Amino acid sequence: MYRHELIVIGAGPVGLAAGIEAKRAKLDFLILEAGTVCQSLVEYPIGMRFFSPADELAIGGYPFPTPHDEKPTREMALNYYRKVASAEDLPIRTYERVERIERDDGGFTLHATRLPHNTQVRYHARCVLVCTGIWGKEKRLTVEGAALPHVLTRYDDPIRFWRRRVLIVGSGNSAGEAAIRLADADAQVWLAVEPPALEQCKFRPFILREIQLRVDESRIAPLTDTQILRIQPECVDLRCAQGIESLPVDFVLTLIGLEPNRSLLEPLGVAFGADGKPAHDPQTYETNVPGLFVGGALSQDGFIYVARERVRLAIEAIRERIRNR
């Protein structure tokens, strides 16, 4: 069994930021990552542009220059985080998914599966910092037909939808961004939102502006005050302000949010808040299980510029805990 003072689970932007802080705090630590570095971003749509400027995505004090100060794409961000991880020579074990965590007197035993041969490996750590994010568990509609094969909860390349009829469901930035990108890939796009007007959705101002441009050019058809009633192989039954009752479509793309995967934490007795995320001390990011900390999107810090700062609090608390034992 491998033994460390700290194990960080997840090498997303915040897991990496935590690793840099742990290294600067001279902790003996390891990062376990189910995929590759920033696997979550690898799975974001190809060519996706972040809505935050590059300096808000930067970690560890490493500058993140982009041409003409433009907002970074998925590819730029992946390149940046890869370079930071290499420059810091962070001890990351990629393709090792933590399956289970057990408590013992001296800390925690972590059971992981190592790809490609599904080798079972065990680690021991005095403290664990869970930075597994919320990517990968998409919320689904609860109507009849929501599990049909043409109902998708994510997409990779907009070109897949070239000249196909796509109903996008969602009133957040991901849905808005998808509507823009699919319209630009010559898909026929309907954007179904719950509020009575696009202005009342959660779109960032620049996303709303881009949607409205395409609405004016008849490249996105907005459906407001929409309730999806049933999805059938060839059409969607709905109620909306535009009076449409049955919409013929090829694909339905539901982008209605993500929820945290609780399977690692629940068996340990971690308490969860009303938002489904683990409750924690806001000063230390420790959960109700002593020695078990959370960081990043899993801990409610949805923006990288917030999470990268706050994960320092967790590392500081972990350092104190280990030194004072």
- Footprint of ligand FAD on this chain (CB under 6 A)? 9-15, 32-35, 38-40, 44, 48, 50-52, 56, 97-98, 131-133, 135, 174, 264, 296-297, 302-304, 307
Nearest distance from residue 299's CB to ligand FAD, in Å? Answer: 8
Smallest gap from residue 72 Cβ to ligand FAD (A): 8
Min separation Cβ 296 and ligand FAD, Å: 2
Compute the C-alpha angle 68/69/73, nearest 5°.
Answer: 100
User: Shortest distance, CB of residue 323 to ligand FAD, whole angstroms?
Assistant: 26
Structure tokens at 144: 């009849």
Report which of 325, 319, 324, 317 is spatially closest to residue 280, judged by C-alpha positions. Answer: 317
Q: Which is nearer to ligand FAD, 6 or 238 (CB)?
A: 6
Closest to ligand FAD by CB, 238 vs 277, is 277
Residue 145 neighbours by CB distance under 10 Å = 18
For the beta sheet containing 227-231, the strands, ordered from the edge strand earlier in sequence to the opposite edge, are 227-231, 235-239, 246-248
- Please answer whether residues 198 and 212 qualify as being in contact, where contact means their C-beta atoms are separated by less than 8 angstroms: yes
Closer residue to ligand FAD, CB minimum distance, 226 or 300 = 300
Q: How far apart are CA 288 and CA 307, in angstroms?
A: 20
Residue placing its CB nearer to ligand FAD in the complex, 10 or 222: 10
Pair 111, 122: CB distance under 8 Å: yes
- Give min distance, CB of 135 to ligand FAD, in A: 4
Nearer CB in complex with ligand FAD: 244/305? 305
C-alpha to C-alpha distance for 168 and 249, rounded to whole angstroms: 10
Task: Give every CB contact of residue 50 below 8 A, 6+ residues apart in sequence.
Answer: 57, 71, 72, 73, 74, 77
Angle value at C-alpha 210, between 209 and 213, nearest 5 degrees: 85
Residue 11 or 231: the one with the smaller Cβ distance to ligand FAD is 11
Q: How far is the CB of 104 from ligand FAD (least distance, A)?
A: 19
